[in-house]
Amino acid sequence: MTDIDEIKKEIMVDNNEIREKIKKLIKKKNYNLRDLSRNIKKNDAYLQQYLYRGTPKVLPEEYRLKLAKILAINEKELVPSWLKNLFPNEKLFTLKNIENNFNNTSEIYISKEFLNGLDFFDEKNLYYFQTPTTNGYLTTIIDVSIKKFKQPNVYLLKDNKNYFLAFIELSKFNQNKLSVKPYFNSFSPFQINSNLLNITGKILWQCSKVFSK
């Protein structure tokens, strides 16, 4: 077994230990999973899926805090060891995957300090999007509160059910039109009237690698 396999195994064991701890607490206090899910402001099946299906793999900080308060325990007791070791003195921020129709089924976790310097108004408007490339995945952070072209930048667009990245700027030939250049060859460059382009969000940051557990 390789070192990577060992690390993955340790992470899985840590995550399972936290789930078992929560199950015992819930049983001891005779709580209902549906009611608990509602109390932490999630859908009825959220904790059922987390505890018995492993989705999400890690309970995000916001919901850990709420659940710990209800169960009358310290929030740190619900944090797996690998996560404590990865960010020992930092608070984590959860980003949801925009391709899941804004539902919480896939997430990544980053330090809140990582958001310093990014130009956005509200953390609730931030999502992530991943594009497969020949070298892995290109990960982007998107501000979905920005639905209109503001300045030359990379934006996230949607064609039917397909999201794609594109660099958008004013057309050099017509100031009422936008020049749209998709990042990859799946879509051809095109020009469109500015009021007709449906923008999903503006890209704040891009990277080929990001922590995901």
Express each pLDDT in 17-33 by its tens digit.
Answer: 999 999 999 988 889 99
Nearest to 16 by CA among 47, 48, 51, 46: 51
Query: What residues contact residue 89 under an 8 Å CB cut-off, 6+ apart?
Result: none
Contact yes or no for 179/189 (Cβ under 8 A): yes
- Name all domains of the chain by residue range, CATH numbers in brackets: 3-86 (1.10.260.40), 113-207 (2.10.109.10)
Gap between the Cα atoms of 179 and 174, Å rounded: 9
Q: Residue 191: helix, strand or coil by DSSP? A: strand
209 has a pLDDT exceeding 60 = no
142-188, pLDDT tens digit by residue? Answer: 999 999 998 999 999 998 888 999 999 999 888 889 999 998 767 78
Other beta carbons less than 10 A from residue 119's beta carbon? 8
Structure-token pair, residue 105: 């089924």
Nearest to 108 by CA among 116, 117, 99: 99
Q: What is the pTM of this model?
A: 0.57
Gap between the Cα atoms of 11 and 8, Å rounded: 5
Residue ranges in the chain assigned as alpha helix (H): 3-28, 33-39, 46-53, 61-71, 81-86
Of the pLDDT bands very low, low, confident and very high (cuts 50, 70, 90), residue 208 is: low
- Give the Å distances, CA to CA, from 115 to 111, 121, 123, 152: 8, 11, 9, 21
CA 122 to chain centre: 14
Other beta carbons less than 10 A from residue 61's beta carbon? 18
CA 58 to chain centre: 12
102 has a pLDDT exceeding 60 = no
Query: What residues contact residue 124 under an 8 Å CB cut-off, 6+ apart?
Result: none
Of the pLDDT bands very low, low, confident and very high (cuts 50, 70, 90), residue 104 is: very low
